[in-house]
């Protein structure tokens, strides 16, 4: 027997309609999430407020309690790519020449102990471009250009290596491996290249080790090529800043969720990437805040951004939700004397994103360190120089050693 819907009880019809509406909204919600655009309001997550007009001078003692200095001695290299710290040692990633990197271990005094890994650990055309501590107490590393994951014990033994396939049909110049986001899951990011149209693609893809696509986020259809995003590793997740919606997202497994909203105020105009490739000055003047680079530890979200003609810097305090913008430094920790601080050091902000839960690290090439101390001495009276030597024997010791092969690292301890 067929029953007409108008003969059914009203409450039954009403509940059925509500269930249909609920199913419809759930479908729309998951449709949007699949594309990486969850319906999130900025009030739902902490807000990082960037405002160059309010940029101040950072007094170092307000953020840090003291400093330490060391030189990494006993091996050759041309640049420090990254440095990790344990209770009894440092592990550093060095560059010898373009595309030729290696991992080395040092004691807490900066003396070379050993090299970790060998040229046989990965294909000779690859190079290690990232190192990090795994949650299981091992050292992880990524090698390019045909990506591989390498896992070492903290004693330097290669535990295993694993090739990571990219079956997107696009070579590595357009897709970059950002790292592991779960069991057998890796995050890939589209890289913008001048003159290319990515309107039919997605910005992010989560893929398995053997190259199977699991999920993709943020369609690029209708969006012009703009500024690069910023990626960083925090705990067991990869976080990223998306220039198109100004959110910092966290990727874990095949799920993505917003962590922070970056409020650029009235300076929200996106950088025109194609114009920037032709006329950097004009593109910078027409754009709002861009080139936003971010990192995070348990207390702060810190980073830098470019506006008009120069870089600015910010520190967001997680405990109170306050963001401070900075444009210069007053180093009252290293310099308690009254003399021009611009002469040494001058790389505070060059490495503003190299930090962990305890220290922020500033790297100096050996010649640059010697030259800066020389310039400092020239601008001090004899009595002021004597006072500096008494207060900072560690800096003077490295200066007098004059080791032309040893990079100098000055690190400040967070409060």
Residue 11 pLDDT greater than 60, yes or no: no
Please give the full DSSP string across 139-207, using - where no structure is assigned. EEEEEETTTEEEEE-TTS-EEEEEE----SSS-TTTEEEEEEEETTEEEEEE---TT---TTSEEEEEE
- CA pair distance 145, 12, nearest whole angstrom: 61
Domain count, the chain: 2
Tell me if 194 sits within 8 A of 180, measured CB to CB: no
Q: What is the DSSP letter of 323?
A: E
Tell me how far the alpha carbon of residue 171 is from its chain's centroid.
24
- CA pair distance 77, 113, nearest whole angstrom: 15
Domain shared by 357 and 301, yes or no: yes
In the numeric block, which tokens belong to residue 304? 């830098």
Tell me if 339 sits within 8 A of 379, measured CB to CB: yes
Residue 391 pLDDT greater than 50, yes or no: yes
Q: How far is CA 49 from CA 36, 313, 314, in A?
A: 23, 11, 9
pLDDT at 42: 55
**238-272 pLDDT, tens per residue?**
999 999 999 999 999 999 999 999 999 999 999 98
Please check whether residue 398 lies inside any domain of the structure.
yes
Query: What value does the mean pLDDT take over residues 133-147?
Result: 85
Phi, psi of 162 (to 5 degrees): -145, 125
Please check whether residue 110 lies inside any domain of the structure.
no
pLDDT at 13: 47
Confidence band of 403 (pLDDT split at 50, 70, 90): confident
Please check whether residue 347 lies inside any domain of the structure.
yes
Domain residue limits at 362: 57-77+297-415
Residue 60 pLDDT greater than 60, yes or no: yes
The set of residues, in sequence order, having a beta carbon less than 8 Å from that of 317 and lying 6+ positions away, is 299, 300, 323, 324
Please check whether residue 236 lies inside any domain of the structure.
no
Residue 366 pLDDT greater than 70, yes or no: yes
Domain shared by 4 and 71, yes or no: no
Under the phi-then-psi rule, with left for phi > 0, alpha for psi from -120 to 50, and beta for the rest, what region is 235? left
Please give the full DSSP string across 8-59, using - where no structure is assigned. S-HHHHHHHHHHHHHHHHHHHHHHHHHTT-----GGGS-EEE--GGG-EEEE
In the numeric block, which tokens belong to residue 296? 């995070």
- CA pair distance 29, 3, nearest whole angstrom: 34
pLDDT at 307: 94
Asked whether the CA dihedral 352, 300, 334, 391 is positive or negative, the reply is negative
Please check whether residue 84 lies inside any domain of the structure.
no
Domain shared by 65 and 24, yes or no: no
Instruction: State the CB neighbour count (10 A cutoff) for residue 103.
Output: 23
Query: What value does the mean pLDDT take over residues 100-119?
Result: 87
Q: Which residue has the tokens 């001090």?
A: 380
Please check whether residue 333 lies inside any domain of the structure.
yes
In the numeric block, which tokens belong to residue 228? 């690069």
Identify the CA nearest to 181 among candidates 154, 143, 149.
149
Domain shared by 1 and 68, yes or no: no
Hey, what long-range contacts does 74-81 have (CB within 8 A, 24 or more apart)?
Answer: 74/106, 74/111, 74/112, 75/104, 75/112, 75/115, 76/405, 77/102, 77/104, 77/407, 79/363, 79/365, 79/407, 80/363, 80/407, 80/409, 81/129
Please check whether residue 330 lies inside any domain of the structure.
yes
Domain shared by 303 and 354, yes or no: yes
- CA pair distance 276, 257, nearest whole angstrom: 31
Tell me if 303 sits within 8 A of 352, measured CB to CB: yes
Q: Rounded to 5, what percent of the chain is helix, strand, coil? A: 20, 40, 35
Domain shared by 303 and 343, yes or no: yes
**70-108 pLDDT, tens per residue?**
999 988 888 888 999 999 999 999 888 766 788 999 999
Residues in the chain: 415
Identify the CA nearest to 191 among candidates 206, 203, 179.
203
Please check whether residue 244 lies inside any domain of the structure.
no
The SS3 of residue 396 is helix
- CA pair distance 275, 225, nearest whole angstrom: 10
Domain shared by 313 and 368, yes or no: yes
Helices (H), ranges, 257-341: 273-278, 280-286
Most confident of 18-27, 74-83, 346-355: 74-83
Domain shared by 315 and 354, yes or no: yes
**196-252 pLDDT, tens per residue?**
666 668 889 999 988 899 999 999 887 877 887 899 999 889 999 999 999 999 999
Helix axes 393-401, 382-391, angle to 10 degrees: 100
- CA pair distance 358, 360, nearest whole angstrom: 7
β-pair partners for 302: 295, 315
């Amino acid at each position: 027997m067929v029953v007409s819907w108008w003969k059914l009880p009203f409450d039954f019809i009403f509940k059925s309609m509500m269930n249909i509406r609920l199913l419809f909204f759930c479908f729309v919600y998951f449709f949007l999430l699949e594309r990486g655009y969850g319906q999130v309001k900025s009030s739902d997550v902490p807000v990082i407020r960037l405002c160059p007009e309010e940029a101040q001078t950072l007094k170092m003692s307000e953020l840090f309690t003291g400093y330490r200095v060391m030189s990494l001695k006993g091996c050759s290299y041309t640049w420090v790519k990254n440095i990790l710290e344990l209770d009894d040692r440092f592990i550093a990633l060095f560059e010898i020449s373009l595309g030729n990197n290696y991992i080395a271990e040092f004691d807490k005094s900066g003396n070379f102990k050993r090299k970790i890994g060998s040229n046989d650990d990965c294909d000779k055309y690859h190079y290690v471009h990232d190192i990090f501590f795994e949650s299981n107490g091992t050292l992880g590393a990524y090698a390019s250009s045909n990506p591989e994951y390498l896992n070492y014990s903290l004693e330097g033994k290669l535990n295993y290596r694993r090739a990571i396939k990219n079956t997107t049909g696009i070579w590595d110049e357009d897709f970059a491996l950002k790292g592991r986001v779960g069991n057998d899951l890796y995050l890939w990011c589209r890289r913008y290249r001048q003159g290319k149209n990515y309107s039919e693609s997605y910005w992010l893809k989560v893929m398995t080790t053997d190259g199977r696509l699991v999920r993709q986020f943020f369609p690029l259809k209708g969006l012009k090529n703009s500024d690069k995003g910023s990626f960083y590793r925090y705990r067991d997740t990869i976080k990223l800043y998306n220039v198109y919606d100004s959110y910092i997202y966290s990727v874990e497994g095949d799920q993505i969720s917003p962590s922070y909203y970056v409020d650029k105020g009235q300076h929200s105009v996106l950088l025109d990437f194609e114009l920037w490739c032709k006329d950097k000055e004009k593109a910078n003047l027409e754009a709002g805040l861009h080139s936003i680079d971010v990192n995070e530890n348990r207390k702060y979200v810190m980073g830098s951004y470019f506006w008009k003609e120069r870089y600015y810097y910010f520190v967001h305090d997680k405990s109170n939700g306050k963001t401070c913008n900075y444009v210069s430094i007053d180093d009252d920790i290293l310099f308690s004397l009254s003399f021009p601080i611009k002469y040494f050091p001058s790389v505070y902000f060059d490495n503003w994103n190299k930090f962990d839960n305890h220290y922020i690290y500033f790297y100096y090439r050996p010649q640059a360190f010697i030259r800066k101390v020389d310039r400092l001495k020239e601008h001090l009276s004899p009595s002021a120089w004597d006072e500096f030597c008494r207060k900072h024997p560690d800096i003077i010791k490295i200066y007098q050693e004059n080791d032309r092969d040893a990079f100098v690292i000055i690190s400040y301890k967070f409060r």
